[in-house]
Chains A and B, each alone.
Chain A
Amino acid sequence: MNDAMDFLLWARGTAFDVALTIFIIGVIIRLFEILSLGRPRSLAEPKGNQLLPGMKSVISRTLPDNGTFKRQPLTVIAGYLFHIGLLISLLLFIPHIELFNATVGFGWPGLPNPIVDAATVIAITGLLAALWNRLTNPVMKLLSDKEDYLVWLLTFLPLLTGYLAYHRMIEPYPLALGLHILSIELLLILFPFTKLMHTFTLFLARWYNGAMSGFRGVQS
């Protein structure tokens, strides 16, 4: 009788604690692992500046590249649609902000629900387009391995269950909310050990790429 509520309480309690702990410990270990490798000591006097070119590439590689767009328009469009939709629905939905507020101690203003709802639909559409592209484009298909599909599923489930819960398409509601939270816990647990880590490493990598170009000296 009370199974759905018990499930929700478990998902919001024990399961969330476990997932969050694994996520935090995993991400910190991964970042330590990368950063502690450091950079080789430079024996040559660099002629250029590293900081500004680094920052420049962080921005330039965030913007769409014309060549890539011509070769793989769907990758670019689906990628942008998905990421923008995801960021809006993740960071600007009031109940999510309340969760961040309870976890990190501060919050920020949110967007009205109809806008967040639309952003979720855009994100889901973007993800479906990305999957279709991955399955139909021969090059993409060849490049994809199991992890790519796993990561796609881990990202898709929270969006789908969140949409279903918001629109009350699963009954009873505690089950809908519980499934949504559980899907995010799965994402959190596998996050540090998959390519989802790009959330944290992409700016590092982009900065490093730009910094290397700006170095203009001999790397020993």
Chain B
Amino acid sequence: MDTNTKTLGEALRRNGVTRRGFLKFCTATASMMALPPSMVPAIAAALEQARRPSVIWLSFQECTGCTESLSRSHAPSLENLIFDHISLDYHHTLQVASGEAAEAAREAAMHANEGAYLVVVDGSIPLGNPGYSTIAGFSNLQTLEETVAGAVAVIAVGTCASFGGLPKAYPNPTGAVSVSDIVTDKPVINVPGCPPIPMVITGVLAHYLTFGTLPELDHYGRPKAFYGTSIHDRCYRRPFYDKGRFAHTFDDEGARKGWCLYKLGCKGPMTYNACATAKWNQGTSWPVESGHGCIGCAEPDFWDAGGFYNALSVPTGEISRNASYAIAAGVGVGAIAAGINQRTRNKAVRQHAEVTIEDLEKR
């Protein structure tokens, strides 16, 4: 592959990206990653000179939504071009070659870039039975372990790869686990979201290309630059939450006026992602802006977290039913206790002997 020797700068220029457009992207990347403006030239220089890193993309138990999100913008964006021009040596959803040729490409890339290639994984890994998900006759677990052995780092794209996601939702029929449950001896960067924001993936790649290191991660292994603040703290509807102005249904006055969606089940307060700032569809909008609460898709077990339309503070059980049972039981036991009290008292009354003056004078 001769394109491997081209730098990213050459590749972008060949695709008609202007210097101005490129620098704008570098500035946006720096600000997204909370780097000082003085870093922009460094990023530009590093990206300009960067050789295309070899990337092997593995898809396990997934819905291809992550790949769709990253590869199908309406107009080719810079993020997309950078994404397109990494040396994506294996991606079985996108690649033209198939069967043994595809597997051969993966093995060739692994040998040629031993210890230097990146592995991107979308989808969870089933441990229940290897036969639940196989590629080219290999179980997902085998493929992952073999491919990761010579990798420099693993990027888990999407909530399935990061946390198990939808396949792991109760009752987890396939025994699905996340990449970080299996890969423990290599850095794993989690880029959760269902799907994740394209800019976040390119941001991580840009960070790697610029500094040669991986970005700073939070306690869930997510890049802090993108997952450092909650949706709630960055939400443009936050002032309505603080003032106590809420939409109560999806078509009431509050909803039309764009008030807070907390009562309609918005999971913004517990969800850490960059949707509120990066937005979707090339900056058009994002879920809360379009009138629907955040469903918390970048958090572990979001599918089981108590219903998308229940307010965050509402317990997950059937509380009204349980409370009714408890009241009934309380009344029942209370009535028994009252009966015992009454009996004790009646007994005391019965044992209360009448004493007359004559009785007292006898003594």
Residues in A with CB closer than 8 Å to B313 are 95-96, 98-99
Say whether A114 contacts B327, CB under 8 Å: no
Say whether B314 contacts A174, CB under 8 Å: no
24 contacts between A and B (CB under 8 A): A1-B180, A1-B300, A5-B299, A9-B304, A9-B305, A16-B316, A17-B315, A17-B322, A20-B322, A24-B323, A24-B326, A28-B330, A28-B333, A29-B333, A33-B334, A36-B338, A37-B345, A94-B244, A96-B313, A99-B311, A102-B311, A102-B315, A112-B243, A177-B270
Known contacts A28-B334, A33-B337, A112-B243; decide if A20 and B326 are in contact (CB<8 Å): yes
Say whether B244 contacts A111, CB under 8 Å: yes
Partner of B316 from A9, A98, A110, A111 at Cβ < 8 Å: A9
Known contacts A32-B334, A33-B337; decide if A5 and B319 are in contact (CB<8 Å): no
Q: Does B331 contact A (CB under 8 A)?
A: yes
Q: Does A77 contact B (CB under 8 A)?
A: no
Q: Does B71 contact A (CB under 8 A)?
A: no
Q: Does A31 contact B (CB under 8 A)?
A: yes
Q: Considering the complex, give the chain A residue whose CB is closest to the CB of B325.
A: A21
A24 to B327, CA, bound (A): 6
Q: Can you list, as one digit per residue, whether each of B307-325 has a CB less than 8 Å from chain A (1) or not (0)?
A: 0001111111101101101
Say whether A112 contacts B305, CB under 8 Å: no
Q: Does B150 contact A (CB under 8 A)?
A: no
Residues in B with CB closer than 8 Å to A36 are 334, 337-339, 341-342
Q: Does B289 contact A (CB under 8 A)?
A: no
A residues 160-196 touching B (CB-CB < 8 Å)? 168, 171-174, 177, 181
For the complex formed, measure the closest distance between the CB of B238 and the CB atoms of chain A, giving whole angstroms.
10
Q: Chain B's interface: helix, strand, loop or mixed, by majority?
A: helix
How many residue pairs at the A-B interface have CB separations less than 8 Å? Answer: 143
Q: Does B263 contact A (CB under 8 A)?
A: yes
Q: Does B258 contact A (CB under 8 A)?
A: no
Q: Does B291 contact A (CB under 8 A)?
A: no
List of 8 A-B pairs having minimum Cβ-Cβ separation, nearest first:
A28-B330, A32-B334, A36-B338, A95-B313, A24-B326, A2-B300, A98-B311, A25-B330
Residues in A with CB closer than 8 Å to B329 are 21, 25
Residues in B with CB closer than 8 Å to A4 are 300
Say whether A5 contacts B320, CB under 8 Å: no
Name the residue among A5, A105, A171 with the largest chain B CB count within 10 angstroms: A5
Partner of B314 from A14, A31, A99, A173 at Cβ < 8 Å: A99
For the complex formed, measure the closest distance between the CB of A21 and the CB atoms of chain B, giving whole angstroms.
4
Q: Does A27 contact B (CB under 8 A)?
A: yes
Say whether B322 contacts A21, CB under 8 Å: yes
A28 to B322, CA, bound (A): 15
Q: Chain A's interface: helix, strand, loop or mixed, by majority?
A: helix
Say whether B230 contacts A168, CB under 8 Å: yes
Name the residue among A36, A96, A99 with the largest chain B CB count within 10 angstroms: A36
For the complex formed, measure the closest distance between the CB of A40 and the CB atoms of chain B, giving whole angstroms.
10
Say whether A16 contacts B341, CB under 8 Å: no
Residues in B with CB closer than 8 Å to A21 are 322, 325-326, 329
A104 to B314, CA, bound (A): 12
Chain B: residues with Cβ within 8 Å of the partner, total of: 53
Chain A: residues with Cβ within 8 Å of the partner, total of: 49
A residues 95-142 touching B (CB-CB < 8 Å)? 95-96, 98-99, 102-105, 109-114
Q: Considering the complex, give the chain A residue whose CB is closest to the CB of B180.
A: A1
For the complex formed, measure the closest distance between the CB of A187 and the CB atoms of chain B, giving whole angstroms.
15
Q: Does B306 contact A (CB under 8 A)?
A: yes
Q: Does B358 contact A (CB under 8 A)?
A: no
Q: Does B163 contact A (CB under 8 A)?
A: yes
Say whether B301 contacts A99, CB under 8 Å: no
Say whether B326 contacts A173, CB under 8 Å: no
Q: Considering the complex, give the chain A residue whose CB is closest to the CB of B341.
A: A36
Q: Can you list, as one digit per residue, whether each of A11-23 has a CB less than 8 Å from chain B (1) or not (0)?
A: 0111011001101
A174 to B304, CA, bound (A): 13
Q: Does B262 contact A (CB under 8 A)?
A: yes
A122 to B156, CA, bound (A): 45
Partner of A102 from B305, B319, B331, B339 at Cβ < 8 Å: B319
Residues in A with CB closer than 8 Å to B244 are 94, 109-113
A111 to B241, CA, bound (A): 10
B residues 148-181 touching A (CB-CB < 8 Å)? 163-164, 178, 180-181
Residues in B with CB closer than 8 Å to A171 are 218-219
Residues in A with CB closer than 8 Å to B112 are none
For the complex formed, measure the closest distance between the CB of A105 and the CB atoms of chain B, giving whole angstroms.
7
A36 to B342, CA, bound (A): 7
